[in-house]
Structure 1
Amino acid sequence: MAETPLIVVVEDEDHLAQGLLFNLQAEGYRTHLESDGDAALAYLLGTTDPIAAIVLDCMLPGADGFTIVRALREAQRFTPVLMLTARSRPEDVLEGLESGADDYLPKPFDLSILLVRIKSLLRRTAWQRAQTSGTATPSEPTEPTAEYAFNHRTIRFDQLELIAPNRTTHLTVMEADLLRYLTDREGEIIPRKAILEEVWQLHEDTDTRAIDNFIVRLRRYIEDDPAHPQHLITVRGIGYRFVANP
């Protein structure tokens, strides 16, 4: 019998935290709450209890959410992270994505939307396990197996991996979504605004220049020389273009 999934909530606003716990427990999840960033990081790095997903506020006493998710990724912990951000700060969304979060939800939010986002992250994790173990059956939901190969590298979208010579890089959901978006449009000039709106659903007042730092990290994954990119090209004043064969 499968163990009940554990959702860790890291939130310092008590009324919001208690509401999250109540609703998650009502959906049948086990829960664990941390309200301090330093304590949360120690728990997440130290626990042996398998964590299905993390709901992480970006602003916390002690270590903030960005620091926590970076530390988890550096420690090779790839538990799905849903980051909670302030609606008035789209830069929080971008920093969360850059630090390694898998999804985001701006405050205030509808609890039903949060539950749907968590279920989506858990489904993707289940798909990855099924693809890896070969246990998926026709009755189970499955994502189409998809790979994209270029320059001795292979992006495995179904398993959130980028395989390069001598290294395999684990991708977040958002990184994989952006790489899929770019490779599907190979050779096209993609405006920054299109990436923000169509991949990450950010609008209007977002400073599109903030996406550049995210692109820098992707270049470290896919370029032989990230300082002189051949595949992920900047189109000055507009956006980016992915080129499979320079």
Structure 2
Amino acid sequence: MNQPKARILVVEDDPAILKGLCDVLVFNGYDADGVADGTEGCASALSGRYDLVVLDVMLPGMDGFSICREIRRQRPVQPVIILTAKGSEDDVVTGFTAGADDYVSKPFSLRELMVRVEAVLRRSGKPLGDEQIRYADIRFDGLNLQAVCGDRSEALTRREMDIVVYLFRHRERIVSKAELLTEVWHYKDPGVETRTVDIHMLKLRKKIASLADGRVLIQTVRGEGYRLEPAH
């Protein structure tokens, strides 16, 4: 029996881009619906009928970041990709803060788009773990997505928790960026150009530092990757 097609919602107000995205997704074997208005797109995304939502940032009615936040509030595990302006790192950071799983910068190649779509669909519903981890006096709670130290706490995204879990499981060695892209983001091609890991690491380190009095728990080994600082 054939596997059912993944259903993808594209919310994009540029008619040519919207049609092009839907055509490419259908060509690659997905069911795709397109919506040009942010408010309508939000309602469609919250209907629960889609395996993935692709959101432009600038939309009439309701912007992509607001839609993403509302999706995260009502449907926490719904996969979301944000479309950002090329080179706009602020948009990428804001998108991840709003709860996006990944981003694609405009203008983008069709190959890059499909790499992102396939990776998000592969990892959706497959978090690395919901366990609780204690490391360096911080408790990382995978069920409630929180990092807690004493009376202080920081909210974590699912991807940040997955990074912590993976680094903890492999804490005796250095973990490369390519390995994280393969094992945490589930990219088939870890050589794809993306700053996703860097941006997630930056945000995660800030949260950990606020709990650990400035201590850098995740070390960068230049040219090699990342590892957890030994927990003394």
Would you say same fold, with TM above 0.5?
A: yes
Change (3 A) 1:36 1:233: farther
Q: Please show how residues 1-246 of structure 1 align to structure 2 within 5 Å.
A: 2-45=3-46, 47-49=47-49, 51-125=50-124, 127-128=126-127, 149-150=133-134, 153-154=139-140, 162=145, 171-173=157-159, 175-176=160-161, 178-179=163-164, 201-202=194-195, 218=207, 229-230=211-212, 233=215
Once the two structures are TM-superposed, the CA of residue 112 in structure 1 deviates from its matched residue by 1.6
Deviations 1:171-212 (A, max 9, x none): 333x245535875897xxxxxxxx9xx989449xx9x9xx56
Which residue identity is paired with 1:230? A
Which residue identity is paired with 1:73? R
Cross-structure match for 2:221 = none
Cross-structure match for 1:192 = none
Which residue identity is paired with 1:149? I
Which residue identity is paired with 2:41? A
Change (3 A) 1:34 1:244: farther
Once the two structures are TM-superposed, the CA of residue 19 in structure 1 deviates from its matched residue by 0.7
Once the two structures are TM-superposed, the CA of residue 161 in structure 1 deviates from its matched residue by 7.1
Change (3 A) 1:244 1:38: farther
Which residue identity is paired with 1:61? P
Unaligned segments of structure 2, at least 5 residues: 149-154, 172-176, 182-192, 218-226
Q: Number of aligned residue pairs: give it.
A: 199
Which residue identity is paired with 1:101? A
CA contact (8 A) 2:53 2:80 kept: yes
TM-score of the two chains, using structure 2 as the length reference: 0.65
Unaligned segments of structure 1, at least 5 residues: 129-142, 187-194, 220-225, 236-240
Change (3 A) 1:58 1:182: farther
How far apart, in 2, do the equivalents of 1:163 and 1:91 lie? 24
